[in-house]
Structure formats: C-alpha cells, structure tokens
Amino acid sequence: QKEVEQDPGPLSVPEGAIVSLNCTYSNSAFQYFMWYRQYSRKGPELLMYTYSSGNKEDGRFTAQVDKSSKYISLFIRDSQPSDSATYLCAMHRGANNLFFGTGTRLTVIP
Amino acid sequence: GAVVSQHPSWVICKSGTSVKIECRSLDFQATTMFWYRQFPKQSLMLMATSNEGSKATYEQGVEKDKFLINHASLTLSTLTVTSAHPEDSSFYICSAPDSGLSSYEQYFGPGTRLTVT
C-alpha cells in the first residue's frame, strides 16, 4: 500500500464550479500537509500548507485535514481556466522529505 | 515565497555522456536540498537528499555512482547524471526548505528536462 493515495483523474469541470480534490494516507505520524499545483513542464508551486487537523482558507482555496480519518482535501471555489493543472498533495512527519500523491489532473472548461 | 532556480531548463545529450544539473536557492540558505525525478504523467519520486558539506543520502534503488550529488555551499547543489542512457530521460526537479524558518515549507525549482538520445 502506498503511503499517500490520490485519484489521478483526470477531472474536468465547467468554469465557476467548486472543485474537490482529495488524498488519503496511511501513516499516522504525518503532521504537515501541503498542496502543490504543477503546470505542464514546470516545477510544483506551493499552494497551501497546514499543520495537523483543521481548515485553512486562502482566497478561493480551502485546505482541510482530518487526521482521524487520514484524509485531506483541497477545495477550489469559482474555478477558472487558469486553475487547469495537476494538483499534488504532499505530507511529511517533520523530517524534510515529502511523500507525494500521484497528482490529480484538473481541467476547467471555459 | 522563496525562489529556487535550476539550470539548464532543458538539455539533450548523447547516450554515454554526462550531464550536470544545478539547483540554487536564490534568496535563502538551504542546508538540505532534495532531488526528484518525474516521468510523464507520474508523481515526483525522491531520488536523494543533498546535505551541505556531507554525503548525499540516496533512496533505495537509486545508483549513487550514476547520479552524483554535490552540495558545496548553502545555496548550490548539483546533480550529475553519468553515462546517461535513454531510460534516464526524465524531468528532474530539486527542492529546498528554507533553513532559516521553523516551518517545513519546501520550495521547488522549475525543473530540468533531460532527453538522452
């Protein structure tokens, strides 16, 4: 079993829709949770960073962590064509190396 | 946020030759840098952890004699792919946490696309 599971999609939504992206994990020691956005042929860009359980909001993005269920989510409100990218969840225990999900390819259709 | 650069962004080399990729933290110091490899439509796979002033730590299955890592300063790590073969063609990405922060945010470079012919 992989330590981090993420549905690879692809996911297509119309512009303006609410997007929900999710990851599950198996290691209860993970404490730091991140979401990265990666455009084609570019390096990942950090979108959201959360510690332990709870919600964090930044503009149209909301990150949610439920440690009891080992489940994290990223919500994108009022999705835009420019949001079309691959979204990667990542997490770690406090040591620096990250454990990544496989990434979900999102397309927002104008 | 902090900025990490990589050079070159794209390189083509012939089979059997060596290629060096540089990773620089531009506005912060990084005692640790990470090297990842990403094949098309797949996620990032950690290859090795680069530590300033000491030997790199390689992940299982990654040949340390083939992928030479040097972390000579707090802002520069290099990855040299020696005797490259077509199966080494991939997207190589480095990342670094800002050593001056107590958080664990990592910043990624833009990646280097290597094509071995």
Q: How many Cβ atoms from other residues are within 10 Å of residue A43's Cβ?
A: 23
Check A43 against B6: CB less than 8 A apart.
Answer: yes
- Looking at residue A94, what is its pLDDT? 67
Residue B91 phi/psi, 5° resolution?
Answer: -105, 120
Check B108 against A102: CB less than 8 A apart.
Answer: no
- Nearest by CB to B110, from A42, A88, A94: name it: A42
pLDDT by 10-residue block (mean), chain B, 117 residues: 90 97 92 91 88 90 94 93 96 85 77 96
Its sign, for the CA torsion B107, B109, B46, A88, is positive
- Looking at residue B29, what is its pLDDT? 87
Distance CA B69, CA B4 (A): 17
- Looking at residue B26, what is its pLDDT? 92
| DSSP calls for A19-63 | EEEEEEES-TT--EEEEEEE-TTS--EEEEEEESSEEEEETTEEE
Question: Is B26 in a helix, a strand, or coil?
Answer: coil
Of B74, B35, B67, B106, the closest CA to residue A49 belongs to B106
Residues of chain A with pLDDT under 70: 1, 94-96
Chain A residues close to B95, C-beta within 8 Å:
43-44, 98
Check B44 against A102: CB less than 8 A apart.
Answer: no
Q: CA of B19, closest CA in chain A: separation in Å?
A: 19
Chain B residues close to A101, C-beta within 8 Å:
43
Question: Is B21 in a helix, a strand, or coil?
Answer: strand
CB-based contact, A56 to chain B, within 8 Å: no
- Looking at residue B2, what is its pLDDT? 80
- Looking at residue B103, what is its pLDDT? 58
Check B110 against A45: CB less than 8 A apart.
Answer: no
Amino acid at A31: Q
Check A46 against B97: CB less than 8 A apart.
Answer: no
Question: Is B87 in a helix, a strand, or coil?
Answer: helix
Helix or strand (DSSP H, E) at B49: strand B45-51
